Amino acid sequence: MLNEALAALRAGQFILLYDFDDRERETDFAIRADAVTPSHIRQMRRDGGGLICTAIHPESAERLGLPFAADILRTCDCTELPGDIPYDPKNRSSFSLWVNHRKTYTGITDRDRALTITEISHEVKKSLNGGGNSFMQKFRTPGHVAILRAAEGLLDVRRGQTELSIALAELAGITPAVTICEMLDDESGYALSKADARSYARRNGLVFIEGQEILDLWDIRTG
- CATH number assigned to the domain comprising residue 217: 3.90.870.10
Torsion sign, CA atoms 22, 25, 31, 33: negative
pLDDT at 78: 66
- The sheet carrying 15-18 orders its strands as 95-101, 139-149, 53-56, 177-182, 27-32, 15-18, 207-210
Task: State the catalytic residues.
Answer: 28, 53, 87, 100, 144, 182
DSSP single-letter state for residue 34: G
Query: Quick one: which of 98, 96, 51 has its CA closest to 69?
Result: 96
pLDDT score, position 90: 66
Which residues are CB-contacts of 22 (< 8 A; sequence separation ≥ 6)?
none
pLDDT given at position 115: 98
Query: Based on C-alpha coordinates, what's the Rg of the chain?
Result: 16
| Residue 32: domain span | 2-222
On whether the pTM is more than 0.75, the answer is yes
Whole-number pLDDT of residue 220: 77
Q: How many domains does the chain have?
A: 1
**What single DSSP character describes residue 191?**
B
- At 42 the pLDDT is 98
Query: Phi then psi for 43, rounded to 5 degrees?
Result: -65, -40
pLDDT at 156: 87
Q: Extract the residue ranges of the chain whose pLDDT is less than 70.
A: 77-81, 84, 90, 223
pLDDT tens, residue by residue, 135-153? 989 999 999 999 999 999 9
